[in-house]
Structure 1
Amino acid sequence: MRRPCRGGAAPPGGGRFARGTDGPCSTRRWTGIAAQGKGSAVTIVPLGGLGEIGKNMMVLETEQDLIVIDAGLAFPGDDMPGVDVVIPDYGYLIERKQKLRGIFLTHGHEDHIGGIPYLLKEIQAPIYATRLTLGLVERKLEEDKLALPPRSRAVRPGERIRAGSFTVEPFLVNHSIPDSVGFAIRTPVGLFIHTGDFKFDQTPIDGRVADYQRLAAYGAEGVHVLMMDSTNAERPGVTGSERQVGEALANVFRQARGRILIASFASHLHRLQQVFDLAAQFKRRLAVIGRSMENAVEVAIKLGYLRDTGGVLTPADKIGDLAPERVVVLMTGSQGEPLSALARAATGELRKLELIPGDTVVIAANPIPGNEKLVQRTIDNLFRRGCQVVYGPHAGVHVSGHGSREELRLMLNLTRPRFFIPVHGEYRHLLHNAELARSVGIPDNHILIGENGTVFEITASSARIRGKVAAGAVMVDGLGVGDVGNVVLRDRRQLAQDGVLIVAMVLHREQRKVVSGPDLITRGFVYMRESEDLLAEARERAVQALNGIDEQDITEWSNIKAAVRDALGKFLYERTGRRPVILPIVLEV
């Protein structure tokens, strides 16, 4: 059965129409802007955020100009021991830095702004973001002793920013942090829309509903390409309103007889505002613990995005003087991070706060994939200390900041794009989002699915995948950026799994023989006192390997190391089934 046609009468002022679907359907969409750019092309290159959750970064490029949307980071998985954070590979941008006209940020979450300090050490370009997002970026840069680049400024929804051949207009969306926006980008080939992270909350805490009218106006104008958040494309229905969380938290306040401790994302200011209001309503004093939470609250109060109208905020070192029923604490650690305030309190290692039986702990977040074990461990430790723990979907203390399937479908119907690129999500999320686009009438050959590094080429009349560019992950470990690669990670995983065996020996160059050793030292492999027989036999194998080396080759350290490593590696695997890292050390006299 043929799908009903979508569209309408010609817009005022003349112009041309472009067929919005293939086949005989009479649907047409206004593409007057696209007509102006005939013969030119815009390239879209995701450097992060496609095929993964995190480190979102999108490049839009013409022959003369380039802009970037978001510059985030991701947190390491279990296969990255010792790594602090992961950022996109900026190589593609660095090669084109003379074309960069601006960095546009959709909102203030780490997976969208966390890479800014690392990017600005390589490239300088003005940053455009809403007031709260820019304030959070500025605080982040201060910690790295950096400053905002020249011409950076706060922008408002509806304002138009010229960036070379691009004109960028922010529009308001709802998300789990205030001041979140998407971008309408006028390009030489047509109007592009990047939704950023969004949902349609009908009862937002700050009263600022997403700008449906402007989205519909873009649809009437003619959206050439829509890039839309895919995070919740698997979830049916509509994402709940943040006000539902406020009702669940109010029940906690009514029932708790002792202290209330609430762990949440520091950036979730709407949730924090509800906690401030409830503290005032139930006559409790409120303390904040955890560096990121303290920073977020300070910046948000300074900029007017968080209000302490009841005057409940009090220093954390003063709560010990208050009766338990008069205390509420906001803290970091909703993901069970080992160094977070909640995780340390759960193990009795937090000096500012000692948990006592009767405390009620609310974990107002769902575990990010990969963090489940950390969260479960923290919950177990809290129960061991006699706490009442409120957590999980059944408790109603968390809702997602991303729209579910019906909200994504609504975005598609409001904007009515000619071409569609699902973004921000793991590969299965992108596929589910593509299926939603097909369900509203966008044909298969107008839907482009890619991953990091995919080059999308958009002209006034076509959209195609042109190839791929390098778009890997750069690992940050301490002060080192990019110096941890696959080889280092492989060694770390092997060290973590099987430990290390050090073989030390002294070589006399003139006598051409080993005069001392080999001595064996292990760490993380076997306990030396309990494995003396195994190590003694291993030493004999090392001696045999040395005796088997030609007298002419004995002074070549590489020959000695290779012989010892090969002999011990084979022996230890046969005896133990393990492959420790073997490090022969040769001293010469």
Structure 2
Amino acid sequence: MPTKSKKAKNIRIAAIGGLGEIGKNMYCVEYDDKIVVIDCGIKFPEDDLLGIDYVISDYQYVIKNRDKIQGLVITHGHEDHIGGIPFLLRQLSGINIYAGPLALALIRSKLEENGLTRDCNLIEIDEDSDLDFGEISVTFFRTTHSIPDTLGVAVHTPVGVVVQTGDYKFDLTPVDGQPAPNLQRMAKLGDEGVLLLMSDSTNAEVPTFTKSERFVGKSIRNIMESIKGRIIFASFASNISRIKQASDVAIENGRKIAVFGRSMEAAIKNGVELGYLDYPKGTLVDPKDVNNIPPEEMMILCTGSQGEPMAALSRIANGTHKQISIVPGDTVIFSSSPIPGNTMSVNHVINGLEEAGAEVIHGKVNNVHTSGHGGQEEQKLMLRLIKPKFFMPIHGEYRMLKIHTELAQLCDVPKENCFIMENGDVLELNQEEAKVVDHFPASDVFVDGNGIGDIGNAVIHERQLLSEDGLVAACATVKMKTGQILSGPDILSRGFIYMRESGELINQAQKQVYHAIKMCFRSSGRVTESMINDAIVDTLQDYLYEKTERKPIIIPMIISV
């Protein structure tokens, strides 16, 4: 392990993503000419990002410093920590990726889908691993979360130790087969001295301990044992502990289990191969046989707990699933809570299921879900165990970071030693002081289909205008030499007005366009298409707003002769 040196340089901490937001986690710990990158996640788009599939980080800082990168260390296998890896590897190949068994299996599946398996080296780690990069070394400590194999990370440098918790809660009674958090190793790090703690802030607004996964298991058991008909159980595919508890109850009550949804199928496959899940022979049945099994003997595990339009549960709710239709007596259990941006989609699915005749059980009121993130009491416990000199809250929106900082001060971290930062900020620190010294571009990058970064804020703004006020197209054929209008103007509308019932408005709009074109030729010697387009947009925007108080996108379509 590195020893302290009088000539030691400062440590630099850079947040590529994960600050002021839930998701997109990616952090760099730099010492001298070496960088350890921790996590590489995505963020799911909010409702106002129309048509966007994912939001990823701007990787330019990492690419610029590619020669310094010693490896990408993964804390656990959730999408907001591994989802960005395929996008990163398209710009930065050949790096070493270190991850626990389940996270590694999930990453490998992503890379196989994207044809990127040769673009990196996948290396399995556990809490006893010790990565030696010369002046920097990395050790780990076991935590608990809503997915197995979760690790906290300690980066050791000659200046001091930087600890990044990853996502965590202190679940002291985890589900069978899952180890408890290693408090002893955390306390040992604290006793030896930690320079900086970077800690998960997601549940900083929750004033209590987060309930144990085993507590949810009892609720699931009580609910499922009272259900007489078919059970449809929807959860995060990555929540192996939740899947195990639901499966165990189903098996004990003589139910067969069918799995729907590609990510759920992959989770079951990985869980069985890694020993987290165990299904007696004959328990898992072919999805094609679901309708041939009595409802009281059937449980369906499926994706779609977040209301994803193409997920199995959404297609069941809207009646488009090829194999499953809701029948009287069906009970759907939502064993999750909506992540930011998905609430409306989840409510839409719930409404569809209930309209189809299913009973839907969801929400914390039924105790069928608990968070994988620790509340304030657990955040204070982490602070007491690690005892950092400096503190930097991560993984949370601004208000969460602020509250977490206040908790740190209650746990004896001086106010001047706490840093609420933004993506792109660079914190430089040593044993005596810490301060923000630099900032680099770290804006969101939008992924739309196969397009990465080609959709900017201007396009998003146009999509929002289209969704709110629609568009109006003005078409005309113009003889440019004489200014004669050979045909049109014609007005077309999509999402703005119902044209059959707006004849007078359309007629007046046509006249406005006609006069705008004519005025161009009267007021200028040399007229271009661009000048005509600008005149049409200005005229129609003013006229339509005056008449409707709406601002549709105006698209001039001039055919010049």
- Scaled by the length of structure 1, the TM-score of the pair is 0.92
Task: Note the aligned Cα RMSD (angstroms).
Answer: 1.6
Q: 1:323 to 1:121 in 2, by over 3 A?
A: same
User: Could you say which residue in structure 2 is the equivalent of 1:571?
Assistant: 543
Q: Which runs of 5+ in 2 are unaligned?
A: none
Task: Give the C-alpha shift of residue 149 in structure 1.
Answer: 4.0
- The whole-number CA distance in structure 2 between the counterparts of 1:216 and 1:107 is 21
- Helix, strand or coil at the partner of 2:521: coil
- Helix, strand or coil at the partner of 1:362: strand
The answer as to whether partners of 1:286 and 1:314 remain within 8 angstroms in 2 is yes
Within the alignment, does 1:56 sit opposite 2:25 as a pair? yes
- Helix, strand or coil at the partner of 1:418: strand
- Helix, strand or coil at the partner of 1:511: coil
Q: 1:153 to 1:39 in 2, by over 3 A?
A: closer
Within the alignment, does 1:188 sit opposite 2:154 as a pair? no
The answer as to whether partners of 1:38 and 1:460 remain within 8 angstroms in 2 is no
Q: 1:553 to 1:74 in 2, by over 3 A?
A: farther
User: Could you say which residue in structure 2 is the equivalent of 1:487?
Assistant: 458
Q: What is the one-letter code of the residue matched to 1:535?
A: I
Q: 1:207 to 1:142 in 2, by over 3 A?
A: closer
Alignment of 1:33-182 (within 5 A): 35-36=4-5, 38-124=7-93, 125-147=95-117, 149-182=119-152
Summarize deviations over 1:466-514 as a string: whole Å, max 9, x none.
1322111000000000000011011111111111111111122343422
- Helix, strand or coil at the partner of 2:247: helix
Q: What is the one-letter code of the residue matched to 2:18?
A: G
The answer as to whether partners of 1:40 and 1:460 remain within 8 angstroms in 2 is no
- The whole-number CA distance in structure 1 between the counterparts of 2:81 and 2:157 is 23
- The whole-number CA distance in structure 2 between the counterparts of 1:229 and 1:51 is 12
- Helix, strand or coil at the partner of 1:261: strand
Aligned mate of 2:411, from 421, 440, 453: 440
The answer as to whether partners of 1:102 and 1:163 remain within 8 angstroms in 2 is no
- The whole-number CA distance in structure 1 between the counterparts of 2:7 and 2:412 is 26
- The whole-number CA distance in structure 2 between the counterparts of 1:183 and 1:317 is 44
The answer as to whether partners of 1:138 and 1:148 remain within 8 angstroms in 2 is no
Q: 1:150 to 1:539 in 2, by over 3 A?
A: closer
User: Could you say which residue in structure 2 is the equivalent of 1:200?
Assistant: 170
Alignment of 1:59-458 (within 5 A): 59-124=28-93, 125-147=95-117, 149-205=119-175, 206-309=177-280, 311-458=282-429
User: Could you say which residue in structure 2 is the equivalent of 1:28?
Assistant: none
- The whole-number CA distance in structure 2 between the counterparts of 1:102 and 1:89 is 18
Summarize deviations over 1:322-379 as a string: whole Å, max 9, x none.
0000100111111122222112211111112111111011000112233222222222
The answer as to whether partners of 1:277 and 1:310 remain within 8 angstroms in 2 is no
- Scaled by the length of structure 2, the TM-score of the pair is 0.97
User: Could you say which residue in structure 2 is the equivalent of 1:6?
Assistant: none
Q: What is the one-letter code of the residue matched to 1:536?
A: N
The answer as to whether partners of 1:264 and 1:331 remain within 8 angstroms in 2 is yes
- The whole-number CA distance in structure 2 between the counterparts of 1:488 and 1:507 is 29
Q: 1:509 to 1:257 in 2, by over 3 A?
A: same
The answer as to whether partners of 1:170 and 1:181 remain within 8 angstroms in 2 is yes
- The whole-number CA distance in structure 2 between the counterparts of 1:255 and 1:310 is 25
The answer as to whether partners of 1:67 and 1:163 remain within 8 angstroms in 2 is no
Task: Give the C-alpha shift of residue 97 in structure 1.
Answer: 1.1
Summarize deviations over 1:498-538 as a string: whole Å, max 9, x none.
11111111122343422111111111111211111110110
- The whole-number CA distance in structure 2 between the counterparts of 1:352 and 1:445 is 60
Q: More displaced, 158-167 or 91-100? A: 158-167
- The whole-number CA distance in structure 1 between the counterparts of 2:366 and 2:288 is 30
- The whole-number CA distance in structure 2 between the counterparts of 1:66 and 1:414 is 26
- The whole-number CA distance in structure 1 between the counterparts of 2:60 and 2:304 is 34
Q: What is the one-letter code of the residue matched to 1:42?
A: I
The answer as to whether partners of 2:16 and 2:28 remain within 8 angstroms in 1 is yes
Summarize deviations over 1:410-429 as a string: whole Å, max 9, x none.
11111111111111111111
Task: Give the C-alpha shift of residue 33 in structure 1.
Answer: 6.6
- The whole-number CA distance in structure 2 between the counterparts of 1:554 and 1:445 is 65
Q: What is the one-letter code of the residue matched to 1:390?
A: I
Within the alignment, does 1:585 sit opposite 2:560 as a pair? no
User: Could you say which residue in structure 2 is the equivalent of 1:17?
Assistant: none
The answer as to whether partners of 1:513 and 1:554 remain within 8 angstroms in 2 is no
- The whole-number CA distance in structure 2 between the counterparts of 1:160 and 1:508 is 76
Q: 1:85 to 1:547 in 2, by over 3 A?
A: same
- Helix, strand or coil at the partner of 1:46: strand
The answer as to whether partners of 2:41 and 2:84 remain within 8 angstroms in 1 is yes
The answer as to whether partners of 2:209 and 2:378 remain within 8 angstroms in 1 is yes
Aligned mate of 2:497, from 526, 532, 539: 526
Q: 1:265 to 1:42 in 2, by over 3 A?
A: same
Task: Give the C-alpha shift of residue 160 in structure 1.
Answer: 0.5
Q: What is the one-letter code of the residue matched to 2:80?
A: D
- Helix, strand or coil at the partner of 2:454: strand
Within the alignment, does 1:539 sit opposite 2:531 as a pair? no
Summarize deviations over 1:532-585 as a string: whole Å, max 9, x none.
111011001111111111355564101111111111111100001111111111
- The whole-number CA distance in structure 2 between the counterparts of 1:151 and 1:289 is 31
The answer as to whether partners of 1:542 and 1:564 remain within 8 angstroms in 2 is yes
Q: What is the one-letter code of the residue matched to 1:469?
A: F
- The whole-number CA distance in structure 1 between the counterparts of 2:154 and 2:285 is 42
- Helix, strand or coil at the partner of 2:520: coil
Identity rate, percent: 42
Task: Give the C-alpha shift of residue 309 in structure 1.
Answer: 3.7
- The whole-number CA distance in structure 1 between the counterparts of 2:300 and 2:525 is 69
Summarize deviations over 1:256-314 as a string: whole Å, max 9, x none.
11100011001000011112211210110101111211122222222323222464111
Q: 1:364 to 1:239 in 2, by over 3 A?
A: same
Q: 1:508 to 1:287 in 2, by over 3 A?
A: same
Q: More displaced, 403-412 or 177-186? A: 403-412
- The whole-number CA distance in structure 1 between the counterparts of 2:539 and 2:411 is 65
Summarize deviations over 1:20-40 as a string: whole Å, max 9, x none.
xxxxxxxxxxxx977426440
Q: More displaced, 338-347 or 74-83? A: 338-347
- The whole-number CA distance in structure 1 between the counterparts of 2:474 and 2:525 is 19
